[in-house]
Amino acid sequence: MVSLNSKMFGPLKFDGGVDKKITKLALPLASKQLTVSIDGELGDDLKRLQTRVTWLDELAATDKAVRARMAKEFEKPGKDKTVRDFLQAHIDEMEPAELRKALGVARTKVVTAADVLRNLLLRHISMWSADETVFDYGLDPRRSDQLLVAYFNAKGKFTHFSHES
């Protein structure tokens, strides 16, 4: 068992990667529950694990940057229209009353993609060995299983978005 200290979350304990199982940690974040999954192989490498824990300490700034990138890609999509398609899918596929309820939007207002974007929750973070880290964003899971996933390389640099369920 490895124990590391996080400025934001305090002591974190990780099982070793002997059986390569995923370790889940429930972390409180803005009165919501956030789960972080860490590949067992990453747990075997203390230096790489400490780098990721340090990155968790910067979670608020990283989340803010990801949301800014989502908004930018929604407003001015380039070749990759993943963010726009994800947001539009919620508008097109959810019943209007259900969508307004999920977003807290008045029933007289037309729901926009910006409304969906504002209501996305950071639901899960997965850290996969040396390769990548992913942040899963979505609406309340009782309302939608669709995810807008932000991918980062091992150095913490954003690489791309994908739409998953």
Residue 153, domain extent = 2-164
DSSP string computed for 39-91: -HHHHT-HHHHHHHHHHHHTHHHHHHHHHHHHHHHHHS--S--HHHHHHHHHH
For residue range 47-63, list pLDDT tens digits in order.
777 777 777 778 878 88
For residue range 106-149, list pLDDT tens digits in order.
776 777 778 888 888 888 888 776 678 889 998 877 778 889 99
pLDDT score recorded for residue 127: 78
Domain count, the chain: 1
